[in-house]
Chains A and B, each alone.
Chain A
Amino acid sequence: MQDLVNLLSKFIKLVAIRLPDDVYTALKELASRENSHWGKEIYSIMFDNINLALEKDVPVCQDTGVLMFFVDAGADFPHLNVLPDAIHAATVKATEEVPLRPNVVEPFIEKNTGNNVGTRLPWIEWNILPHTSYADITLYLAGGGTSLTGHAKVLPPASGFKGVIEFVLDVISGYGLNACPPFLVGVGLGTTVETAAILSKRALLRPIGSSNPNPMAASLEKILYDKINGLEIGPQGLGGSTTALAVHVEYSARHPATLAVGVSTGCWAHRRGTVRLKSDLSYELLSYKGVKL
């Protein structure tokens, strides 16, 4: 198991320090067309910060979040038995060695555990891939500021897409200033609050530049993208034409009586990375080209 722990710990470090390729490219593109005085200044400091983090080998943002893993686990992946323990051990190891900020607080006793492990944390979402021998592990480090935006609500279906758009704009206009814009916006549609919420989070995992394969969902993404940028929140809330890195919509079919909508944001320092672990524990970094662990 130690090899797996070492590998995962290095992967956690990479995610904390380096922005994935798609996020970096999207930020560059936004910076190139932002014309506001403050916006240009903010982008310039952001890129200084991104480069300095790589140079110094330290986390790009001090808030390394509560570690959230999304595992697409092949049913034939031979290390499934030890994977949950390995994820926990790697979290403890990386917290000490990178270091990450110890962010896990036990409620009721209000005590920081000091090692980023606590009741049900790190959070792990599992998805089983039949007849597959690899595992894709996606790690998302969301800071507190951008997590405070999260909202989900069950609307009556008569609200329709109009209700969805109103809800998303209410959330973003109310909380977006503090969510470290320009941010990625994830919208989940489903039956119940928790399914809409988790889909909104999964929407943040999709590569920037991708559209929902359903053309109507893609059209909703485009409408929301234009409207959110129309709010002119701008980099760090100081105004400007670039507010959203992208808007991603994920959905499930729903109960006829409900239309649940969830909204999550991912700050500009969107630290989510994916590694594919093969059965022999060789790996492929899907979100970073030309990088080794």
Chain B
Amino acid sequence: MNLTLKTPLKDEDLEKVNVGDIVYLNGVIVTARDAAHERFLKHGRELPINLKGLPIFHAGPIVKEAEGKWRIVSIGPTTSMRMESLEYDFIERSGVKMIIGKGGMGRRTAEACKRFKAVHAIFPGGCAVVAAERVKRVLGVEWLDLGVPEALWIMDVENFGPLIVSIDTKGNNLFEERLNAINGKKAELLKNLDKLLI
């Protein structure tokens, strides 16, 4: 299923979404990756913006500033799994409804998605210019002292996607299934290695 959603995201919109669906977003999304998660949850700093109902994007952009205005040059997803240990708490405490990144996330995040009606979705990794094209403008930036990649970039986006849903509000986890399948293949592929002639 392909669908377009508007931010802030509502529970009833997200409940319709299943793993494997493709979502496009209109509205506001905010970048947050390693250092922003740590500052909020480990160092106990309040978030400088209200993220309730919004998507966060695991991403660190290339930006350009001209005449006091920021422009996104290139912005693709980063590896979501790095945030796994903190994402449950992040979802619970910030009220975010969608996590966008690359690769899968683990069991704890899937639990949080189920409990707090949120989803995880991936944007194709490395496709950073395609993504930048969908950013209409930068609305603001917070925590820039963390460095450009780690700051919270607040962006107005249009038709932002394709976002492939990898964890849904039922707690289904596409990448956990993928990982199980890959490990199954690996066990097969490692059989009879003694017979290999190199």
Binding site for B on A (CB under 8 A): 38, 41-42, 45-46, 48-49, 52-53, 56, 58-64, 99-103, 105, 110-112, 114, 143-145, 148, 161-162, 165-166, 169-170, 173, 176-178, 180, 216, 219-220, 223, 227, 230-233, 236-239, 267-269
Contact = CB atoms under 8 A, between A and B. Distances in A.
B74 A231 contact: no
B42 interface: no
Interface string B181-195: 111011011100110
Contacts of B146: 112
B147 interface: yes
Contacts of B61: 62, 101
Contacts of B49: none
B148 interface: yes
| Most chain A CB neighbours (cut-off 10 Å) among B63, B75, B185 | B185
B139 interface: no
Interface in B72-122: 73-76, 78-82, 102-104, 122
**Interface hub of B124, B148, B175, B178 (most chain A Cβ within 10 A):** B124
A53 B129 contact: yes
Given A52-B133, A173-B186, A178 B124 contact: no
B73 A177 contact: no
Contacts of B164: 38, 238
A162 B193 contact: yes
Contacts of B81: 178
Contacts of A145: 78-79, 102-103, 125
A103 B149 contact: yes
Interface core residue of B81, B127, B186 (most chain A CB under 10 Å): B127
Contacts of B79: 144-145, 148, 178
Contacts of A112: 146-150
Nearest to B150: A112
Given A162-B193, A173-B186, A62 B148 contact: no
Contacts, number: 163
Contacts of A111: 147
Contact of B128 (A60, A161, A216, A239): A60
Given A63-B78, A233-B182, A238-B164, A101 B62 contact: yes
B186 A59 contact: no
Interface in B150-177: 150, 162, 164, 174-175
A57 B135 CA distance: 17
Contacts of A53: 74, 129
Interface string B43-81: 000000000000000011111100000000111101111
Contacts of B59: 62
Given A60-B126, A101-B60, A180-B126, 11 more contacts: A52-B130, A53-B129, A59-B128, A61-B128, A63-B128, A112-B146, A114-B148, A178-B102, A220-B198, A223-B196, A237-B103
B126 A46 contact: yes
B60 A169 contact: no
- Which of B82, B126, B150, B174 has the most A CB atoms < 10 Å from its CB? B126
B163 to A, nearest CB: 12
Contact of B126 (A52, A178, A268): A268
B3 interface: no
B182 to A, nearest CB: 5
